[in-house]
Each structure stands twice: as structure tokens, then as C-alpha cells.
Amino acid sequence: MLKLNNISKTYSVGTFGGQELHAVSSVSFDIQDGEVVSLIGESGSGKSTIGKMILRLISINSGSIELDGVDISVAKGQALKEYYRRVQGVFQDPFSSYNPVFKADRVFSTIREEFYPGVKKREWNHKVENSLKSVGLNPEQVLNKYPHQLSGGQLQRFLIARALLLDIKFLVADEIISMLDASTRIDVLNLLADLKSRGLSILFITHDLSLAYYISERAVILYRGCIAEMGVTEKIYNNPLHPYTRMLMASVPRLDRKWEEVDVELKGQHAALGKGCVYYNRCSLPAKDEECIRQRPPLIEVTPDHFVACHKL
């Protein structure tokens, strides 16, 4: 199980770094073994920052990240290397993950050099072929090819196959299908669902509500680095309680409703500022008051497995 305990990330911005930008603020949730959790929010909400902190690509300012009870946020050397045997990430733009002057399968040779230096070439080639076949790729068609000779979907599968070579237990999938065409998206989603059925845990980072509903058991709604709502996906989608979640759901075009009607409902919602509830200036609830300005609302379990951060619910 991967567990995030009140993790925060702050950047120094402005002239001479005199101001602070709170990218992520006291975020806590866990991902069970063999579970898919969707992390949902608009651009700038802190989704990718959380993914990078899990992958140790950036440090955390406070809090901890635990894998099976071990705090990995301070892991170094061999401990960090062992962590990467179990946790890997795949990102939005597959083309940027490859050096265009090297063939794509160089990512496999790098894994061998770093993690399996003692494995003989014949045995390694067999592992690579099995890994590629497990993600629906024909080794003869993709090996020894340059990145520009493969499609975006093939490159994403290639990266997932690389992660599977390490026998990972947890995958951070950060907007991995947003740059793919519609026909390829469903293939990658089905692949993730298949990997989940084999016991792989996945953090699925997305701004696409329909994709999150399709693939995840639980969802975390993020706004300005804070959790607005989280819980069982069905409950959040069928009964959104936080005004931000309601706005997200209303923004999805529906066949039984004109887009103009939704647009009217969203008028008056502006960028949020404030020391209390981060959604205060954008909130349309008539009951909001001084409490919302003074204090950030805690996550409250309003129904079993359904948590909401709002003073007025």
C-alpha cells in the first residue's frame, strides 16, 4: 500500500523569492494493492506535482510518503534504488521520454545496466520479449526502431513494458493518454485495467472525468493543491457534494442538455484566493460566511467512503 501523509510542496516565487506558491498543501490519501485511484483536477491544481513527489523527482517540504509502512521520502542510495524497482511512472508526452538519436529499445538496455547487470543477454532478451507481448506489442515490429518510427500509442506501451521489467507494484500514470488518438486511448486504458487485474496499483492522473470514471475505484478531486472531495468513484460522480466537484460535473457536455444552460450556471465563478477555504471566491453556495474565510475546511466523511472539505455541508 502507498500512503501519502499530509504532504506539501511550496515554491519560492516573485522578486528574489520573496513569495511562496503552495503547489500542494497537506494532501493525504492512500492507494491499496491492486487498486486504481484517479487524481482529478484542472491544470495547475497540483496533480503532476503529487505524481513527481511520489516518484521522488521533486522533494516534499513536509509530510511523508510510505510504501508498505516504510517512509520513502527520505530514502537514499540503495534504498531509493529498491524503491524504483517497485514504483515507476509514465508521463503525458511519450516522445519527450526518448532520446531521438537512440533506438527506442535503449530504455531496456538502461534498465539492464542499472538493475540487472548479471543477467545474460539471452535471458534478458527473453524477458524483454515477454514484457512487450504483455502490453500488446510485437517485438519484431518495435525493437530496433527509432522513436519517430513508432506511434504515440506504441511508445506509451513501450514505457509501460519498461516499467513491467522491474516487476513493479505501483505505477504513476500521469495524463498518459491525453496526447493519443481516440482509437489508441481505449487500448491503453484496457491495458491498465488488465495490469490492475494482475495486482498492479495505479495512480491515474487526469483532468478527463469520463476516463477517471471508466478506470478507477476511487477518485480524489484536487483544487489548488488541496483535496476538495474524495471517495468511491460511483458516489462522487452520482452525488457530487463539493461546489467545485459539481462545477466539474456540470462542465461535461451531455446529450440531454444544451451547453448554453451549463454555461449560465458557471457564470460568476472566478479564480480563487484567500487564507481559508481555497475555493471561497469561486464558490456559489449562498451559505458561505466568515468561517470559510478564516479556516480551511477539513475533510469530513459525510457518508461511508465519501469525504468532502466544505464548512457548509
Q: Is 149 left (phi over 0), alpha (psi -120 to 50) or beta?
A: alpha
- Asked whether 156 and 188 are in contact (CB, 8 A), the reply is yes
d(CA 75, CA 28): 20
Say which residues have a Cβ less than 8 Å from residue 21's Cβ, sequence separation at least 6.
Answer: 10, 11, 12, 13
Cβ burial of 223 (10 Å; 0-12, 13-18, 19+) is: buried
Single-letter residue type at 182: A
pLDDT values of the chain reduced to their tens digit, one per residue, 313 residues: 899 999 999 888 766 666 778 889 999 999 999 999 999 988 889 999 999 999 999 999 999 999 999 999 888 999 998 999 899 998 888 888 888 899 888 888 888 888 888 899 899 999 999 889 888 889 988 888 999 998 888 888 888 888 888 878 999 999 887 777 777 777 778 888 888 888 899 999 998 888 888 889 999 999 999 999 999 999 999 999 999 999 888 776 554 555 444 443 444 333 334 578 888 888 878 877 888 888 889 999 999 999 999 988 7
Q: What's the pTM?
A: 0.86
Structural domains present in the chain: 2-237 (3.40.50.300), 239-313 (no CATH)
Q: Which of 302, 259, 220 is nearest to 41 (CA)?
A: 220
Give the whole-angstrom CA distance, residue 267 versus residue 262: 9
